[in-house]
Chains A and B, each alone.
Chain A
Amino acid sequence: MEWNKKIKEGLQDYEAAPPEQSWDAISKELNKNQENTIPIRSNYATAVSWIRYAAAAIVIGFIVMVSFNKPFQNSIKDTLQGPGTKAAVVESKLAISNDSLPLKDSSKKQFPN
């Protein structure tokens, strides 16, 4: 079977120049396939879109809560205009007025000659 070995060696790496138009046909087919496939999104792009959806959902949820929930509205009002704030304003006014009172002789006592 010497011929078998020879033919195998001779033809296994046999090369022939392909027709010139064959690459054009292949690239045309490749382009056609690429047009039909949905582009694969990168992980980063997917994460960004999920973050956007999450942020939009939080904003919409907050708006819905404020619009339809009376106790929630009241609690916000109380927080903004409630007694706590008023008291703080009154206290700060008193503090200002106290600070503006004329000093007594204490200064003399504190800083003797």
Chain B
Amino acid sequence: MQKMLYEKFSAKMYGICLRYAHHPEDAKDILQDGFMKVFGNLSKFKGSGSFEGWMRRIFVNTAIEHYRKKNNTYEIQEAHEEGVTNKDLTAFDKLAADDIVKLISELPNGYRTVFNLFAIEGFSHKEIAAMLKISEGTSKSQFARSKAWLQEKIKNHEKHAHGME
């Protein structure tokens, strides 16, 4: 049964791990820890929501724990939102999912986690603040900074792509 679950969900869960990890090696560790947690807590799944959603939450929490443990102190520094321009990442449209994931994985740890939790997982800044034990303002500013960082990276990516042509 465990192998069946692994075969069914491993690709999707590894996709999540890659988004939260800085290196594929870290993603592999998160995948392993996440599945161990899933197998160890199967009896706790009440069946009220979707099983995939339940697994997803476990993997997101494992990824957050992984970075807390690894970096000892979480890489998010308290900051204020002022001075951070709110950019729209319309340039994302031109990139393939693999390229976007690669760019996200290159984000600094704090930016990456907040970006994933807000933009992809759909948590509010209030929820993210509670999860990461930071202020709501910090979550907002980290998100704005991550967008600015990504915008810059996409520009460079495009320049590089045009230069190759």
Residues on A lying within 8 angstroms of B by beta carbon are 1-4, 6-8, 10-19, 22-23, 25-27, 29-30, 33
Cβ-based interface call for B55 (8 A): no
Are B11 and A15 in contact (CB-based, < 8 A)?
yes
Q: Are A11 and B97 in contact (CB under 8 A)?
A: yes
Check if A7 sits within 8 Å of B11, measured CB to CB. no
The residues of A that contact B14 with a CB separation of less than 8 Å are: 15-18, 22
24 chain-A/chain-B pairs, Cβ below 8 angstroms: A2-B90, A4-B119, A6-B92, A6-B93, A7-B89, A8-B120, A8-B122, A11-B101, A11-B120, A12-B120, A14-B12, A14-B15, A14-B16, A14-B19, A15-B12, A15-B15, A16-B14, A16-B15, A18-B14, A22-B10, A22-B28, A22-B32, A26-B2, A30-B39
Task: Tell me if A's interface is mostly helix, strand, loop or mixed.
Answer: helix
CB atoms of B89 and A14 under 8 A apart: no
A30 to B2, CA, bound (A): 10
Q: In the complex, what residue of chain B is closest to A29 when comparing beta carbons?
A: B36
In the complex, what distance in Å separates the CA atom of A7 from the CA atom of B121?
Answer: 11
Q: How far is the CB of A103 from chain B (nearest CB, A)?
A: 86
Report whether A14 and B97 are in contact in the complex, using a CB–CB cutoff of 8 Å.
yes
Asked if A25 and B32 make an inter-chain contact with CB atoms under 8 angstroms apart, the answer reads yes
CB distance from A36 to the nearest CB of B (A): 12
* Complex contact B97–A10 (CB within 8 A): yes
Can you name 20 extra interface pairs (CB under 8 A) apart from A14-B16, A26-B6? A2-B88, A3-B88, A3-B92, A4-B119, A7-B119, A10-B97, A10-B100, A14-B12, A14-B97, A16-B14, A17-B14, A18-B13, A18-B28, A18-B31, A19-B28, A22-B28, A22-B31, A23-B6, A25-B32, A27-B2
